[in-house]
Amino acid sequence: MEILAGQIKDQLEFRDGSGIHHCAIPEEELQRIWPLNEMDRERKIAQFAKEYGLHLTFYRHGMCAIFENKGVE
């Protein structure tokens, strides 16, 4: 999970100067940590975001999750 959090934070830091404040993680990457059939999957992804100082702004089962830094709306 730390690797994924680092990847998201790196993308957010890189994009910050471009006015893009979000990072989309495709389903293929999410499945490595949270299998599609896992119960409470969205809640677990949101909890992961919170633990790493991020905010889950969008999630669609089978598609992707979009993260932002906390405080960015």
pLDDT digits (tens, 9 = 90+) for 15-59: 556 656 889 999 999 999 999 999 999 999 999 999 999 999 999
Tokens of 6: 């680092």
**The predicted structure's pLDDT at residue 12:** 84
pTM for the predicted model, two decimal places: 0.83
Q: Are 25 and 69 in contact (CB under 8 A)?
A: no
- The HSE-up count of residue 55 (CA atoms within 13 Å, CB side) is 9
Distance between CA 68 and CA 3 in Å, rounded?
16
Tokens of 40: 């409470």
Domain boundaries, the chain: 2-69
